C-alpha cells in the first residue's frame, strides 16, 4: 500500500530534487531563493557520499570552493576535512530549513512534465509517493563501484571503499588501483602498520595523482616500503591470497584484505528508466547547456552525472553552480506560489524555487 508523504494527497511541489549531496542541496537552496516549493529525497543520509569517505580525509580543495547558498565555510585548515564539510552542509541545510527526506529511495517515476509522481520506499520498507512539477536529478556516482568481475570478488575481505587503517595493522593488504584514492589508502595503511601491496594495470601511478601525494607514494615504492606491481592485474581472490598476472608471470601473494579502488560510475540504469538518453562511449546524457534540462521535459540534471562516465570533469567546486542554472530556468517557467521571504531563508514557511542548466 502506498502512503503519501505529504500532508495532503493532492499536494504538489514545484521541484523535487533526487539526491541530497552538496549539488542537490545547492539545487534546493536556489529553488527556495527563487520562491518555489521544493523537497529533496536521498536513499541515504544528508551528503551520503561524503559521509562514506575516509573518516580522516582532507579535501584537495580549499573551503571557499565548497561553499553553497552564499554561506561562508570557515575552516582553520588550508584544506578542510571530511568532518568539517559534513558539519558545514548540515548547518547550511538547517539555515535554509530545507525539506530533506533522508533514507528515502526512489523506486520509479511516473507521470510527466508539470505532474510527476515519484514513488519511494523508506528505511522501514514503507511505500510513499510525492508529486512535483519538475525534477532535478543530482545522484552523483560514488554509490556504484566499478567491479572487476573476477573470481572471489564477492568475498567479505574485499572492499570497494576505504575508511580507516586501524583494523589492518600487521596484516597483508592489497590495494588495487593507481589514482588518488588508491595512493592515499596505500600510504595510510602502510603508515599504520599494514604490509601493503599495490597492483595497477598501468605502467606507473596515474598522472592525475595530486602533486603532493605522487612523490610520497613513489618514494615508498622505490624504497620497498610498499610493494608495487605495475602493468599487472588481479585475476583471482582467494581466502588467504590473491593471484596476480604480472610482467614476470602469474604470482600468488599472501593476502588478508583487498581494497579494490577501481573507480565508480553514475547510475545509468536509473537515467534509462527516467527516459534520459545517454550517448557515445562516455554515455553523456542529453541536456541543454544553459538550463540543464534533459531530453525528457521537466527533468533536469545536476552535478557529476552531466558528464556521464567522465567523472573527473565535475566536482563539488563546479557542480555546485548547476543549482543556479536550474533555478533560473524554472523561475522562467514557473510562477512562484508566493514571493520569496524578505526575512531570509530560515523561515520554513517560505516556498522554494528551482531552475536548471544542462549540457
Residue linked to cell 499536494: 11
Q: pLDDT (tens digit, 0 to 9) for every residue of the chain, 359 residues total? A: 343 444 445 689 999 999 999 999 999 999 999 999 999 999 999 999 999 888 888 898 999 999 999 999 999 988 999 999 999 999 999 999 999 999 999 999 999 999 999 999 999 999 999 999 999 999 988 888 999 999 999 999 999 999 999 999 999 999 999 999 999 999 999 999 999 999 999 999 999 899 999 999 999 999 999 999 999 999 999 999 999 999 999 999 999 999 999 988 889 999 999 999 999 999 999 999 999 999 999 999 999 999 998 888 888 999 999 999 999 999 999 965 544 443 344 433 333 333 333 33
What separation in angstroms does the CA of 98 have from each of 2, 5, 41, 140? Answer: 24, 16, 11, 19
Task: List, by residue range, all CATH 3.50.50.60 domains of the chain.
Answer: 2-144+264-333, 158-260
State how far the Cα of 131 lies from the Cα of 135, in Å rounded to an integer. Answer: 10
State pTM to two decimals.
0.84
Instruction: Tell me how far apart the 2 most distant CA atoms of the chain are, in Å.
Output: 70
SS3 content of the chain, % helix, strand, coil (to 5): 25, 25, 50
CATH superfamily of 2-144+264-333: FAD/NAD(P)-binding domain (3.50.50.60)
Q: Grid coordinates standing for 332?
A: 522562467
pLDDT at 143: 82
State how far the Cα of 185 lies from the Cα of 208, in Å rounded to an integer. Answer: 16
Residue linked to cell 522562467: 332
pLDDT, one tens digit per residue, over 189-244 is: 999 999 999 999 999 999 989 999 999 999 999 999 999 999 999 999 999 999 99
State how far the Cα of 48 lies from the Cα of 42, in Å rounded to an integer. Answer: 8
CATH architecture of 158-260: 3-Layer(bba) Sandwich (3.50)
Amino acid at each position: 500500500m502506498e502512503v503519501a508523504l505529504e500532508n495532503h494527497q493532492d499536494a504538489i511541489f514545484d521541484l523535487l530534487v533526487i539526491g541530497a549531496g552538496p549539488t542537490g542541496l545547492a539545487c534546493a537552496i536556489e529553488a527556495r531563493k527563487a520562491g518555489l516549493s521544493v523537497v529533496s529525497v536521498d536513499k541515504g543520509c544528508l551528503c551520503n557520499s561524503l559521509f562514506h569517505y575516509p573518516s580522516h580525509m582532507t579535501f584537495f580543495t580549499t573551503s571557499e570552493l565548497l561553499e553553497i547558498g552564499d554561506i561562508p565555510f570557515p575552516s582553520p585548515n588550508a584544506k578542510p576535512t571530511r568532518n568539517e564539510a559534513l558539519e558545514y552542509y548540515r548547518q547550511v541545510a538547517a539555515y535554509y530549513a530545507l525539506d530533506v527526506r533522508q533514507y528515502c529511495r526512489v523506486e520509479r517515476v511516473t507521470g510527466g512534465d508539470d505532474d510527476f509522481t515519484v514513488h519511494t520506499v523508506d528505511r522501514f520498507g514503507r511505500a510513499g509517493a510525492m508529486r512535483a512539477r519538475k525534477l532535478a536529478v543530482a545522484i552523483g556516482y560514488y554509490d556504484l563501484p566499478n567491479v572487476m568481475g573476477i573470481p572471489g570478488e564477492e568475498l567479505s575481505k574485499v572492499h570497494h571503499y576505504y575508511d580507516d587503517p586501524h583494523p589492518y595493522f600487521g596484516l597483508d593488504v592489497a590495494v588495487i588501483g593507481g589514482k588518488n584514492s588508491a595512493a592515499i589508502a596505500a600510504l595510510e595503511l602502510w603508515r599504520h602498520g599494514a604490509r601493503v601491496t599495490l597492483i595497477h594495470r598501468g605502467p606507473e601511478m596515474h598522472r592525475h595523482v595530486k602533486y603532493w601525494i605522487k612523490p610520497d607514494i613513489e618514494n615508498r615504492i622505490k624504497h620497498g616500503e610498499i610493494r608495487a606491481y605495475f602493468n599487472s592485474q588481479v585475476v583471482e581472490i582467494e581466502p588467504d591470497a590473491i593471484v596476480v598476472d604480472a610482467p614476470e608471470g602469474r604470482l600468488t601473494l599472501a593476502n588478508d584484505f583487498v581494497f579494490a579502488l577501481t573507480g565508480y560510475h553514475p547510475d545509468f540504469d536509473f537515467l534509462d528508466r527516467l527516459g534520459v538518453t545517454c550517448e557515445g562511449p562516455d554515455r553523456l546524457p542529453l541536456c541543454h547547456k544553459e538550463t540543464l534540462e534533459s531530453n525528457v521535459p521537466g527533468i533536469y540534471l545536476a552535478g557529476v552525472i552531466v558528464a556521464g562516465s567522465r567523472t573527473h570533469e565535475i566536482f563539488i567546486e563546479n557542480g555546485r553552480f548547476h543549482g543556479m542554472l536550474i533555478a533560473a530556468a524554472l523561475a522562467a517557467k514557473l510562477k512562484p506560489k508566493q514571493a520569496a521571504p524578505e526575512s531570509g531563508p530560515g523561515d520554513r514557511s517560505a516556498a522554494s524555487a528551482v531552475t536548471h542548466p544542462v549540457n
